[in-house]
A and B are shown apart, each in its own frame.
Chain A
Amino acid sequence: MVNFILRNIWQRIILLIFISIISHAIVHLAPGEPALVDPSNPRMKAEDIQRIRAAFHLDEPLHVQYVYWVKDLFTGELKSFKDNQPVMGKIWERFLNSLPLFVIATFITWCLAFPVGIRAAVHRDSTFDRSSTFISYALISIPGFFLSYLVIIFMVKTFNVPVLGMRTFGLEDASFLFQSMDRVWHLTIPALMSAIAGTAVLSRYVRSQMSEVLHQDYMRTARAKGLPEDQVIYRHGLRNALLPFITMFGLTIPALIGGSVIFEQIFSWPGMGRLGYEAILARDFPIILTLNFMTAVLVLVGTLVSDILYAVVDPRIKF
């Protein structure tokens, strides 16, 4: 077991090195340098551009730049090109904003997907099954920003609550209860919107897993023993159907950054996705690279944890 974990960690570290090299190459080889963001500015002379490039090590060969980046990243010296703030501090600040959104969205996803999926699998080919199938396909197929606009309009018109941003401006003196209600309103709608596609996909997986398990022999045995139907489905069926979802948990982590760009943009939520989007617009290479790197780390840690959990939960798996 320890051997397996160590080997896995070692493999993932190698993978991580390759990922960082590839993403560094992609970002640096693409046209458009930070020094060229404002080409129409008459005050930018050739020597200024040269000075900026030297300051950011952009005039060095690519592999030297890579070494600089890695060294700065691990000593915590990495500074943003745009405002010379430490990259880790900026990302941490945005991470704290993104985290509640991600946690609540994941919570909504799992709480909605499982009941729907299980019910659809148990009552196969019923009206509920057919309509939930159709609705989940419709929810996957709708562009996220289109649906969000419809919901924003609906919320603002019917409930008269502002939903953009993290809090309503000018409520700093309001009572604590009022402020927290305001925060909850602002949090719920973006979390719900970013949970929708995930819910639809996950409920399909739950349904197919459950309907596979329902035909197993041990289910028939459990029924033959005379157990109540609820116990058969939830104790014997669901427990076995749950296993593959441990792996899925690790794969939902990249959504923390990548999947949230659109929703954070619509709801003006100052999170990590938006930080990445702003960094891309400003050619702020250290932030783009570090965000990419951190996502990769999160994915690899997530898959490692789910591999280990899988082995712990499922006694049939041996190393």
Chain B
Amino acid sequence: MSESITTLEMEAPPSKGLFQERWDILKRNTMAYGSFWFLMFLLALAFFGKVLTRYIVVFDPKVVRLSEKFLPPLTVFKSSITPLEDAPTFGIYLFGTDELGRDVFARMLEGTSVSLSVGFVAVGIMLTVGIFFGGIAGYYGRVKLGFITVDTIIMRFVDIMLCFPTFFLILTVVALLPPSIYNIMIVIGLTSWMGTARFVRAEFLALRDQDFVAAARSQAIPEWRIIFIHMVPNAIAPVLVSATLGVASAILTESALSFLGFGVQPPDATWGNILSDGKNFLFDAPWLTFIPGFTILLVVLAFNLCGEGLREAFNPKMKTTS
């Protein structure tokens, strides 16, 4: 008997970790896998963009050349009025210039890091609040405070938050607060955590009665450690998916706020405010609209496809049979 089991084990392929296994499923989805590497490339671009526009200024987004405004993309620099030290890098306007003669390529490069950090910080806040409330509601769900349970209090609060028209609420708060990039990140984060909290709670309801939690409890490990170190990593799959999709929607929300004039304010360039400034010159300089517009489309699409690929890969019904 034991012999047959060992032979079976010998024949079976070496078992892989959860993430390795899911990673292999993700790889089969070409679009999601491609978007993942595109996003990695984008992160690198954002990092180098920040360095090259802020610290080692190779592409200067702030140089104003009034004689050079509204030049179409790929125009070679040959002005005699503008001093030579204000010439764009490599002597060419890769994405053209805007209404102040600023280099759109440099501005887009600067905007990459700002737009992505709006997305990531907002999602960071969303995850922190969502995991916290979801974890508390899931773990301490049966504890009673007076006549209602903790779970009821938190989930009713989630229901209350879901009743607000989100974009209207964001607009109200952003319009009333002084304009600042941090306010936008915080407000987007604080109005989008409800989905995460629900996912985490649902996972925790299944996890809290499992053996490893009981084992951790028997070792007198503090409860916050059980929740955040032992249980959260086991509930991470839906969180990862909603985080990826959350970045996409945060970037879109920021661009919509920019359109209404409440987005990230100049001098910070984001894709959203380059787009909403550019739309005023749609007929004279269409590239000012199309370049940021299609960049947002492409990046948000990549986040959405990647998130959807992750959702499919983490679906327990999917097996590595290929």
A138-B301 contact, Cβ under 8 Å, with A30-B173, A31-B178, A149-B289: yes
A238-261 at interface with B (beta carbon < 8 Å): 254-255, 257-259, 261
Are A295 and B168 touching (Cβ within 8 A)?
Answer: yes
Q: Binary interface profile of B, 178-213, with partner A (CB < 8 Å = 1, else 0)?
A: 100000000000000000000000000000000000
Are A292 and B256 touching (Cβ within 8 A)?
Answer: no
A300-B163 contact, Cβ under 8 Å, with A141-B301, A144-B256: yes
Binds A, one of B16-24, B66-74, B224-232, B292-300: B292-300
Of B156, B282, B300, the contact of A149 (CB 8 Å cutoff): B282
Which residues does chain A contribute within 8 Å of B6, judged by CB atoms?
Answer: none
A258-B282 contact, Cβ under 8 Å, with A15-B156, A145-B256, A280-B175: no
Are A145 and B163 touching (Cβ within 8 A)?
Answer: no
Which residues does chain A contribute within 8 Å of B279, judged by CB atoms?
Answer: 145-146, 149
- What residue of chain B has the Cβ atom nearest to residue A138's Cβ? B301
Q: Binary interface profile of B, 235-265, with partner A (CB < 8 Å = 1, else 0)?
A: 0000000000000100010011001100000
Are B256 and A27 touching (Cβ within 8 A)?
Answer: no
Are A143 and B175 touching (Cβ within 8 A)?
Answer: no
- What residue of chain B has the Cβ atom nearest to residue A30's Cβ? B176
- What residue of chain B has the Cβ atom nearest to residue A291's Cβ? B168
Which residues does chain B contribute within 8 Å of A254, judged by CB atoms?
Answer: 163-166
Which residues does chain A contribute within 8 Å of B289, judged by CB atoms?
Answer: 146, 149
- What residue of chain B has the Cβ atom nearest to residue A140's Cβ? B304
Most central of B31, B173, B256, B282 by chain A CB within 10 Å: B256
Are A262 and B259 touching (Cβ within 8 A)?
Answer: yes
Question: Is A304 interfacial (CB 8 A cutoff)?
Answer: no
Are B156 and A27 touching (Cβ within 8 A)?
Answer: no
Are B304 and A141 touching (Cβ within 8 A)?
Answer: yes
What is the size, in residues, of chain A's interface with B at 8 Å between Cβ atoms? Answer: 43
Most central of B156, B169, B172, B272 by chain A CB within 10 Å: B172
Are B173 and A292 touching (Cβ within 8 A)?
Answer: no
Are B304 and A27 touching (Cβ within 8 A)?
Answer: no
Which residues does chain A contribute within 8 Å of B178, judged by CB atoms?
Answer: 31
Question: Is A10 interfacial (CB 8 A cutoff)?
Answer: no
Least CB distance, A72 to chain B, in whole angstroms: 20
Bound Cα distance A40, B40 (Å)? 48
Which residues does chain B contribute within 8 Å of A291, judged by CB atoms?
Answer: 168
Instruction: Give the contact-size bracket for chain B.
Output: 35 or more
Question: Is B308 interfacial (CB 8 A cutoff)?
Answer: yes
Are A259 and B165 touching (Cβ within 8 A)?
Answer: yes
Are B252 and A280 touching (Cβ within 8 A)?
Answer: no
Question: Is B145 interfacial (CB 8 A cutoff)?
Answer: no
Binds B, one of A17-25, A85-93, A180-188, A221-229: A17-25
Of B31, B252, B297, the contact of A134 (CB 8 Å cutoff): B31
Which residues does chain B contribute within 8 Å of A296, judged by CB atoms?
Answer: 163-164
Q: Binary interface profile of A, 30-46, with partner B (CB < 8 Å = 1, else 0)?
A: 11100000000000000
A137-B305 contact, Cβ under 8 Å, with A18-B160, A143-B256: yes
Question: Is B42 interfacial (CB 8 A cutoff)?
Answer: no
Question: Is B177 interfacial (CB 8 A cutoff)?
Answer: yes
Question: Is A265 interfacial (CB 8 A cutoff)?
Answer: yes
Of A146, A255, A258, the contact of B296 (CB 8 Å cutoff): A146
Which residues does chain A contribute within 8 Å of B169, judged by CB atoms?
Answer: 26, 258, 292
Bound Cα distance A295, B164 (Å)? 7
Question: Is A286 interfacial (CB 8 A cutoff)?
Answer: no
Q: Can you list 26 residue pairs at the A/B interface with Cβ under 8 Å? A: A15-B159, A19-B163, A30-B176, A31-B177, A31-B178, A138-B301, A140-B300, A141-B300, A141-B301, A142-B293, A142-B296, A143-B252, A143-B255, A145-B255, A145-B259, A254-B164, A257-B165, A258-B165, A258-B168, A261-B167, A265-B260, A276-B171, A283-B176, A292-B164, A292-B169, A296-B163
Q: Which residues of A contact B (CB under 8 A)?
A: 15, 18-19, 22-23, 26-27, 30-32, 134, 137-138, 140-146, 149, 153, 254-255, 257-259, 261-262, 265, 273, 276-277, 280-281, 283, 288, 291-292, 295-296, 299-300
Q: Which 8 residue pairs spanning A and B have beta carbons closest together?
A: A258-B165, A30-B176, A141-B300, A141-B301, A258-B168, A146-B293, A254-B165, A296-B163
Q: Which residues of B contact A (CB under 8 A)?
A: 31, 156, 159-160, 162-169, 171-173, 175-178, 248, 252, 255-256, 259-260, 272, 275-276, 279, 282, 289, 293, 296-297, 300-301, 303-305, 308
